[in-house]
Amino acid sequence: MIIPLPCRTLLLALVISVLGFQPLKAQQPASLSGTWYGELNLVVQKLRIGMKIASTPGGAFKGTLDSIDQSAFGIPLTLVTREEDKVRIKIESLGVVFKATLSADGQQLSGTFTQNGIPLPLKLRRVDRYPSLNRPQEPQPPFPYDQEEVVYRNELHDVTLAGTLSLPRTGHPLAAVLLITGSGSPGPATPVAPQAGAGDSHRSHRAHNGAARGMIRAGHE
């Protein structure tokens, strides 16, 4: 049977209309798995923070936190939960909870990093690997000043102080600073990952910066 031209035109239009209104596939949510990187602003300094998150066969998440500037790597994430774009990460060993929102394109995690009750804003971005930045923990020689080991004896209280004296190379009188610290780290009030030797690193930086600026620095335990 030959279909008249007006009917054929109508039939063709109907087919095009049906094909053009095929149901759209549901958009897949952005993935949380991957490597994340950002900087935590502690006011006195910034700490580079990284997280590596992976999904498990059961649909849960696991991962680790890296405090790059503190050389603390592979700290286990105790719990990682996600409800749509809301993400909550808990690290019991550090007293940390990170509540964040995953961007629609899956490239950013923005939220609040709370450690021991102190909240700080933190934004992580997805990366292939952590950026390589030149931030050495210890000043490296040659230094623009001289150093010598000194010992002070207090006979009255039976106390001996021993330390390093940093002397700028100048021929005129200089201001002097004496650094005396006790146990623990004199670093940030909210350390992400306490580490052995962190106090030594902070003292070394202060002594180096002071001597390089023309101040006599004596650091003691």
pLDDT tens for each residue of 62-104: 999 999 988 899 999 999 999 999 999 999 999 999 999 999 9
Instruction: Judge residue 67's burial from the number of C-beta atoms within 10 Å of its C-beta, 0-12 exposed, 13-18 middle, 19 or more buried.
Output: buried
| pLDDT tens-digit map of 105-122 | 999 999 999 999 999 999
In angstroms, the CA 12 to CA 78 distance is: 60
| pLDDT tens-digit map of 133-147 | 655 556 677 777 787
How many CA within 13 A on the CB side of residue 121? 3
* Model-wide pTM > 0.85: no
- What is the percent of the chain where pLDDT is above 70? 64
Three-class SS of residue 136?
coil
How is domain 34-127 classified at the architecture level of CATH? Answer: Beta Barrel (2.40)
Task: Determine the straight-line distance between the first and last CA of the chain, rounded to whole angstroms.
Answer: 104
In angstroms, the CA 177 to CA 214 distance is: 11
Give the dihedral sign, CA 58/59/62/63. positive
User: What dihedral do alpha carbons 115, 118, 121, 126 form, nearest 10°?
Assistant: 0
Q: Beta strand 118-127 with 34-41: parallel, antiparallel or unpaired?
A: antiparallel
In this structure, of 11-15, 46-50, 66-70, 162-166, the range with the lowest mean pLDDT score is 11-15
Q: How many CB atoms lie within 10 A of CB 177?
A: 14
Taking alpha carbons only, the member of 59, 56, 98 closest to residue 77 is 98
In what helix (H) or strand (E) does residue 7 lie, and over which residues does it extend? helix 5-20
| pLDDT of 189 strictly over 50 | no
Three-class SS of residue 1?
coil
CATH 2.40.128.20 in the chain is located at 34-127
